[in-house]
A and B are shown apart, each in its own frame.
Chain A
Amino acid sequence: MKRLLSITLLSWACTTAFAAAPDEFTLTIKDHAFEPREITIPAGKKIKLLVVNKDATPAEFESKQLGREKIIPGNSTARINLGPLKPGRFAFVEEYHENNAAAQGTLIVK
């Protein structure tokens, strides 16, 4: 029952996400490292950044430049609304390991 419910919810979430149709971009965190470290998005439109945390421990996506901070519990995905943004480069970090180079990334807006 629970599984059925979650499948229904998931498919509903997918359809509404596609219906609303802002572009989605995916960023993965594994072993506290971003993959990819650089991600390019289009300027001037709203997009959704999906941050997939493949570690068992919680992570926090933070960007002072973008004004975003979001905790991503272990083994889960967070949706982060971004834009519309002007062209430029925006730094982001996985705050819990921000001193590691692998936990620092750049969002490139073109």
Chain B
Amino acid sequence: MFAAALIVFRESLEASLIISIMVAATRGIPSRGRWILAGILAGLTGAALVASSMGHISNMASGMGQELFSAAILALAVGMLAWHNIWMSAHGREMAAQARNAARAINEGTRQCSVIFIVVALAVLREGSETVLFLYSLATSTEGGLQTTLGGGVGGLAAGLLVGGLLYAGLLRIPLRWFFSITGALVLLLAASMASQAASFLIQADLLPSLGAPLWDTSGVLPQTTAVGTLLHALIGYNAQPAGMQIVFYVVVLVAIATGMLWAVPRGQHAKRQGAAADHAAEKQ
């Protein structure tokens, strides 16, 4: 029961932290709650499908199907987070302060909602499919079986959601003028972290060299299995024994998105300073 609770907690924690960061980061976008819920449901459906076809996925690409599948999901999520962050740098402030042009806000907000939907669905799908397989394995292999496993699973899930909820509550206490800078930074680190995980799968598939495995080892100082290590892993991609290529991916994605965000900000501010006419012109571009 404890084993079930622990693993489900670990998996649901990652998804739950991603979801709370996304919920916070999209504050002010109309009807985001519905899209997040839809993302969770789509992710759960996807997780069940992936879990049930894991045999097929594994056999694809001469046995490297799982690695490629995980890397593709992570890459897609990184792309969505990048787009979201760059878009928010340009429009976030207007969104939060109830944009002057409500129709435009709803229109672009809806486009953002599809990003939230996809990111949430992918997070739930990735963590969920592993959880489903684990619960299945445990339920059929231990005495007491299904009942204890389910009990532990529900407990673990509740704990995972609780931590996500606490993060969200904490984020909401941040004053509005720093709020989007902080959620933006969190999304940025999340994207870099997913990129480094994608690199790990590509190394595992032998498509990329590891460039030093591990490049360094901090498992003596802060093992990834501890609570703090797990939390840091989920939030900023902490890895006690990273491969060199993972660091390359992490840094490249971090710098690329940050550059995109910086590039997007002055244009928005510029338009605001120039007043409504320039705003209108910028909209046409």
Assess whether A64 is in contact with B54, with CB atoms less than 8 Å apart: no
- Residue from B64, B137, B205, B225 having most chain A Cβ neighbours under 10 A: B137
Neighbouring B residues of A58 by C-beta, 8 Å? 54, 133-134, 136-137
Assess whether B140 is in contact with A80, with CB atoms less than 8 Å apart: no
Assess whether B133 is in contact with A60, with CB atoms less than 8 Å apart: yes
Query: What's the Cα separation between A56 and B241 when bound, in Å?
Result: 32
Assess whether B62 is in contact with A95, with CB atoms less than 8 Å apart: no
Assess whether A67 is in contact with B130, with CB atoms less than 8 Å apart: no
Q: Which residue of B lies closest to A99 (CB)?
A: B3
Assess whether B54 is in contact with A71, with CB atoms less than 8 Å apart: yes
Neighbouring A residues of B64 by C-beta, 8 Å? 79
Q: Which residue of A lies closest to B135 (CB)?
A: A96
For residue A42, CB closer than 8 A to chain B, the reply is no
For residue A21, CB closer than 8 A to chain B, the reply is no
For residue B200, CB closer than 8 A to chain A, the reply is yes
The tally of residues in A whose CB lies under 8 Å from a CB in B reads 31
Count of A-B contacts judged by CB separation below 8 Å: 79
What DSSP secondary structure best describes chain A's contact surface? mixed
Neighbouring B residues of A96 by C-beta, 8 Å? 7, 133-134, 137-138
Given A60-B134, A64-B224, A67-B243, are A73 and B55 also a contact pair (CB < 8 Å)? yes
Neighbouring B residues of A85 by C-beta, 8 Å? 213
Assess whether B204 is in contact with A80, with CB atoms less than 8 Å apart: yes
Q: Which residue of B lies closest to A55 (CB)?
A: B141
For residue B48, CB closer than 8 A to chain A, the reply is no
Assess whether A32 is in contact with B141, with CB atoms less than 8 Å apart: yes
Q: Which residue of B lies closest to A22 (CB)?
A: B206
Neighbouring A residues of B242 by C-beta, 8 Å? 67
Neighbouring A residues of B62 by C-beta, 8 Å? 13, 16
Query: What distance in Å separates the Cβ of B223 from its nearest Cβ neighbour in chain A?
Result: 8
Assess whether B138 is in contact with A81, with CB atoms less than 8 Å apart: no
- Residues on B close to A: CB < 8 A? 2-3, 7, 54-55, 58, 62-64, 66-67, 130, 133-134, 136-138, 140-141, 200, 203-206, 210, 213-214, 219, 224-225, 239-243, 246
User: Can you pick out 25 interface pairs between chain A and chain B where the beta carbons lie within 8 Å of each other?
Assistant: A32-B141, A55-B141, A57-B137, A58-B54, A58-B133, A58-B134, A64-B225, A65-B214, A67-B210, A67-B241, A70-B66, A70-B67, A71-B66, A71-B133, A72-B58, A73-B58, A76-B55, A78-B58, A80-B204, A81-B204, A96-B133, A96-B134, A96-B138, A97-B3, A97-B137
Given contacts A67-B239, A67-B243, A81-B206, 19 further A-B contacts (CB under 8 A): A13-B63, A32-B141, A46-B206, A58-B54, A58-B133, A58-B134, A58-B136, A64-B224, A64-B240, A65-B219, A67-B203, A67-B242, A72-B58, A73-B54, A76-B58, A79-B63, A96-B134, A96-B138, A97-B138
